[in-house]
Structure 1
């Protein structure tokens, strides 16, 4: 997560009179819902008293942010108002905070921020607890100068990797279902062994990606598990099964996968009474935890065992679906390579790391050495030192149609867009995106190919 997370796409259609009436009622409704959500999360975490992780996850630095830049908190914020001395609210200047579920700096302090959407305010406290876990987790990691990667894991778009991950999802669902039905432990053990067998086969084949894979699972997987474990979901096993089904339908697994695997493995390990939660400064490798704390030996992996496990986990249907998806994936790679690599483009490089980049995690695509494609994304400058802000139109965002390419050059991040259709003072408009330039930034031709580049305009003083 850090400064990266999924952003909420909201489209509201109303008649003018109805819209006015809705807007008049909305603040009261929103404030009441956010108050209930925050008070409920606080009560749950105070009841837990830190038993799950050894530290109390509740902190007053948590707020909901509405789409009109109004923020709501149980903490009295500078310049805020209150109607009941319980909930405090204020409207922030535009782009003060990114409208994402994440951890952000506000007035020099770290806050867990949640989008004030009905789903997040009514999901049994799972999202609020998820983000509060992030706040404490990041604080602990920062104190020990531990940096974990949370970028999409590119190999999970590969045909064989997706197939093995889907088989793992299937086996995890079987395990959770057996747990929910209080089936014999031997059946649970067998289903779980299948899941870890698929995981071991996949990770052995792509060893070079293991570090980044378990790091993002440590960040997002643990937060998702914690949200599930401390929520008031009436049946957490069924909820985890539903989550596995939901994330399995994603066109890409490179970023969403830990939101499925984290709750599943966490709940399973808890069911098996494993002492697996060893602190906030550890890297969590679910296969290693299983082998060392439960199996007490390496999981045996061989061709026959893998084929037998496939036969128990819906392999024919998964294989057929992934073969069809492979063709779609290859066509998308060709389309975006032509659009954002071969053709002339518009490019912008960040001058400062104080930049939030939020994206639809279900709309990413690896273009290998060229970087990662994001079909829906928004960039917000928090420093006034970068080129400006941009957004792909949420109404048009679609994988295979829209996108911005993000690539790394050393410690620099570069964004690549298709050529714009219109450039005016302070604004660049493309077919599906819009860029607001900060003062002093201009568009210039970069090379003979026809690429354009957003650069800081040289002043007379800088030329001397």
Structure 2
């Protein structure tokens, strides 16, 4: 789940599909419980035997308790930061190291990292561990995410409308029993996608990276975490329905599309996982279009869109999205005043580590994307955001309301909306615009 040195909070959980998991207390990750989870991860990994991707997903895994930063791991680290205790390896993750559901390199080892508490549902636990295990070997498979872009078009009226029509068509395809019906709904899904690409010319390239990254990871989680075809289909259908409630689709959409297209490809192009490793420009959707011999045609899509949208209650969906679009314009005006027009604190970023929830981002076009809550770690220190921050589209800077920040300050600077902890040798200095401030490394007094 990372791009360069950016760590991002994982979503990818199939929530509430199957009950029966052991209840967990957030402060009760015992060695025996950790060991049981590690054993389950290994069992499902061994059961796959490398068949899915041609490479085993087994490997070092750690579970981290955010409040205490306590680590429980299934393997030793390289530099002896962990101590064996009752069959697991215990230690503490240093301050400055990011805690997230992801893959990280720490103390000489590349780990699968998951946060405690994990989902209480047993299936959800398995999906999560397999999803993050894919990220650990993703680069070795030649599938490392590259050039991730903003998907701000998925906050636009037509972008959201056409994406949800696509989701509904995919769900109908997964629920169908006969081949002709499955193919018809799959073609509808691809038609809605092609129309989105025609409406937003940048969409195809912008969506590709996330679909190859999180879409493939969530497909992997469901394939290995699900026990049989019916359970995997139920998990994929849940991903398609649960993300409808996300405040924003700009970074969560691929968790829904990835498993659905993957399962359809398993039916119509069983060798697709080899193809996608060899062809960097392809996505599961484009491979399905080739398998079904569906060609993109914006003209055809325009002619058929209204007719086919009726099959998925498109009128009701469009009415709801039109109302949301009006509300969004008011929200964007507030954000522009808060993060652009008013005095701000600007923090430059270079290979940052970022923790955030991908479900609630708000795209602001060329200005960047609003992250309602997040933590940014960079060479100047750390910024914890509770009431929103604006991240540039190229991740070159993050900005928050200036509030109490003033030139000459250093150390910890707090505001109700954010807390900045500056590293030694850094302090607040005047910014480029009158009234703005930024940070700068300064000479330390001997």
Once the two structures are superposed, residues 207-263 of structure 1 have per-residue CA deviations (whole angstroms, 9 ceiling, x without a partner) of: 323123111100110000000011135612122111111111111111000000001
In the superposition, relative to structure 1, how do residues 233 and 158 fare at CA in structure 2: closer, same or farther (>3 Å)?
Answer: farther
1:6 aligns with 2:9: yes
Aligned-residue RMSD, C-alpha: 2.4
In the superposition, relative to structure 1, how do residues 361 and 302 fare at CA in structure 2: closer, same or farther (>3 Å)?
Answer: closer
Would you say how many aligned residue pairs link Structure 1 and Structure 2?
Answer: 418
Query: Please, which moves more after superposition, 42-51 or 264-273?
Result: 264-273
Q: 1:75 Cα shift?
A: 0.7
Q: What does residue 376 of structure 1 align with?
A: 373
In the superposition, relative to structure 1, how do residues 94 and 448 fare at CA in structure 2: closer, same or farther (>3 Å)?
Answer: closer
Q: What does residue 157 of structure 2 align with?
A: 159
- Could you tell me how far apart the structure 2 residues matched to 1:253 and 1:115 are? 23
Q: Which runs of 5+ in 2 are unaligned?
A: 12-24
Once the two structures are superposed, residues 308-344 of structure 1 have per-residue CA deviations (whole angstroms, 9 ceiling, x without a partner) of: 2101011011111101110121112111111111111
- Could you tell me how far apart the structure 2 residues matched to 1:447 and 1:203 are? 38
1:83 aligns with 2:81: no
Counterpart mapping for 1:368-447 below 5 A:
368-381=365-378, 386-393=379-386, 402-407=387-392, 413-421=396-404, 425-447=410-432
Q: What does residue 189 of structure 2 align with?
A: 195
Contact 2:192–2:301 (Cα < 8 Å) also in 1: no
Contact 1:420–1:428 (Cα < 8 Å) also in 2: no
- The SS at the match of 1:434 is strand
In the superposition, relative to structure 1, how do residues 80 and 285 fare at CA in structure 2: closer, same or farther (>3 Å)?
Answer: closer
- Could you tell me how far apart the structure 2 residues matched to 1:66 and 1:313 are? 43
Q: What does residue 53 of structure 1 align with?
A: 53
What TM-score, normalized by structure 2, do the two folds share?
0.87
- Could you tell me how far apart the structure 1 residues matched to 2:125 and 2:440 are? 47
Query: Please, which moves more after superposition, 307-316 or 201-210?
Result: 201-210
Q: What does residue 254 of structure 2 align with?
A: 258
Counterpart mapping for 1:18-417 below 5 A:
26-28=28-30, 31-59=31-59, 61-67=60-66, 68-77=68-77, 78-84=80-86, 86-95=87-96, 97-119=97-119, 122=122, 123-141=124-142, 148-178=146-176, 183-232=177-226, 235-272=231-268, 274-278=270-274, 280=277, 282-283=279-280, 284-293=282-291, 295-298=292-295, 301-350=300-349, 352-353=350-351, 355-381=352-378, 386-393=379-386, 402-407=387-392, 413-417=396-400
In the superposition, relative to structure 1, how do residues 387 and 333 fare at CA in structure 2: closer, same or farther (>3 Å)?
Answer: same
Q: 1:442 Cα shift?
A: 1.0
Q: What does residue 397 of structure 1 align with?
A: none
Q: Which runs of 5+ in 1 are unaligned?
A: 9-21, 394-401
- Could you tell me how far apart the structure 2 residues matched to 1:302 and 1:118 are? 43
Q: What does residue 11 of structure 1 align with?
A: none
Q: What does residue 18 of structure 2 align with?
A: none
- Could you tell me how far apart the structure 1 residues matched to 2:64 and 2:154 are? 33
- Could you tell me how far apart the structure 2 residues matched to 1:236 and 1:159 are? 31
- The SS at the match of 1:326 is helix
Q: What does residue 14 of structure 1 align with?
A: none
Once the two structures are superposed, residues 177-235 of structure 1 have per-residue CA deviations (whole angstroms, 9 ceiling, x without a partner) of: 22xxxx22111111111111101111122232312311110011000000001113561
- The SS at the match of 2:138 is helix
Contact 1:418–1:430 (Cα < 8 Å) also in 2: no
What TM-score, normalized by structure 1, do the two folds share?
0.84
In the superposition, relative to structure 1, how do residues 280 and 72 fare at CA in structure 2: closer, same or farther (>3 Å)?
Answer: farther
Q: 1:376 Cα shift?
A: 0.9
- The SS at the match of 2:91 is strand
